[in-house]
């Protein structure tokens, strides 16, 4: 089994079946790290902002992989990327 240098995998997807399959694929690939799931971009942005405020991210941390669905309710992928790119300041 290989060791992955990934801190966390984040699914941002409103389809629970896709997330379930994705988690199974990660497990089969040998990933045993943290897997988070958010049903829309706004939930994810709020969580990321909270993690930053709490100092959970720094330049020494292993990378976080984000798997992002394009079409979601509340905040879709395009809005998520706009907020993420604009220093995580929600509209």
pLDDT of residue 21: 97
Query: Is residue 9 within 8 Å of 34, Cβ to Cβ?
Result: yes
Strand arrangement, sheet containing 8-12: 34-38, 8-12, 64-68
| CATH superfamily name and code, 8-85 | Response regulator (3.40.50.2300)
Q: Determine the 3-state secondary structure of 82 from DSSP.
A: helix
Phi, psi of 63 (to 5 degrees): -70, 155
CB 44 within 8 A of CB 77: no
The pLDDT tens digits for 13-57 are 999 999 999 999 999 998 888 999 999 999 998 998 888 788 777
Higher pLDDT, 90 or 67: 67
């Amino acid at each position: 089994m290989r060791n992955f240098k990934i801190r966390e995998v984040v699914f941002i997807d409103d389809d629970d079946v896709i997330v379930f399959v994705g988690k199974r694929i990660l497990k089969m690939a040998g990933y045993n790290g943290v897997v988070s799931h958010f049903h829309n971009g706004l939930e994810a942005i709020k969580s990321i902002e909270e993690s930053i405020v709490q100092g959970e991210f720094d330049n020494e941390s292993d990378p976080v992989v984000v798997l992002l669905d394009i079409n979601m309710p509340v905040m879709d992928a395009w809005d998520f990327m706009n907020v993420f790119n604009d220093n995580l300041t929600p509209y």
